[in-house]
Structure 1
Amino acid sequence: MSPEVRVSAVVVVAGDRALVVRKHGASVFQQPGGKPDAGESALDAAVREVAEETGIEADPASFVPLGRFTDAAANEPDHVVVADAYLLRLERPFAAASAEIAELRWLAEDEVEHTPLAPLSRNHLIRHAWA
């Protein structure tokens, strides 16, 4: 069995676009998020990571739980990522790449097929943007 990496991931949506980020040194995009700090809840990690990576500061009550999803880890070979995922809808598409983020994109649904996405994003999370 592959080692697990526990994360919180957030499907951020504004209008008909979903936010994806690419971390420095990574070749694929994924939802904003990351590993919880010691003693931090999955929701608290989601709120903190979104703010750190994108500058989006949102009320924790705005994060809608989507469930827990598992897939191959994009940036850690031979690992499995287990993500507690949330949906966050914004009034307008504002975000700025910061922390470990090299690039961000606001994707329309018809751009997903041609965008390099992490397995967790492609197979489980991105579809929630348009559900």
Structure 2
Amino acid sequence: MTPEILVSAVLITDADGRALVVRKNGTTTFMQPGGKPEPGESAAEAAVRELNEELGIEISVDQLRPLGRHRAAAANEPGHTVVADAFALTIDPAGIAPRAEIAEALWITPDTDVPLAPLSTEVLLPLAWPRA
């Protein structure tokens, strides 16, 4: 059985329909912000904490819209599967900046050409940009 990594991931969009993706230090693949829950932390609490640590976004748990639990190949851990409790959030992009282990944060559209994690391409971004 493939080892699993449990994370919380947040599909963040703005009023123009762009989606926020981040790239961690030492990696080349972009993905939705989020991370691993700490002991005793709910998936939503982990998402709120990670958004604050990684991007300076201050929100409450009740601002997140649950998108369910999804699986995909892990982007930065070969041979692993990421199991993501996913959430959606629409915010104003002003003041968002990379912090902690985040090297870069980008607002993308369906036409943006950057390397994206399987969870982003297979599950989360199609929720933001459904095909007609």
In the TM superposition, what is the alpha-carbon distance from 1:127 to its structure 2 partner? Answer: 2.0
CA distance in 2, matches of 1:21, 1:72: 17
CA distance in 2, matches of 1:96, 1:22: 12
Aligned to 2:3: 3
Give runs of aligned pairs for residues 1-131 of structure 1, distance below 5 A: 1-15=1-15, 16-90=17-91, 92-94=92-94, 95-111=96-112, 114-131=113-130
Contact 1:87 1:128 in 2 (8 A): no
**TM-score calculated relative to the size of structure 1:** 0.93
Structure 1 SS opposite 2:111: helix
In the TM superposition, what is the alpha-carbon distance from 1:129 to its structure 2 partner? Answer: 2.2
Q: Structure 1 residue runs of 4+, over 4 Å off?
A: none
Corresponding pairs, count: 128
CA distance in 2, matches of 1:100, 1:60: 22
More helix by share: 1
The residue type paired with residue 2 of structure 2 is: S
* C-alpha RMSD over aligned residues: 1.0
CA distance in 2, matches of 1:54, 1:129: 20
**TM-score calculated relative to the size of structure 2:** 0.93
Structure 1 SS opposite 2:127: helix
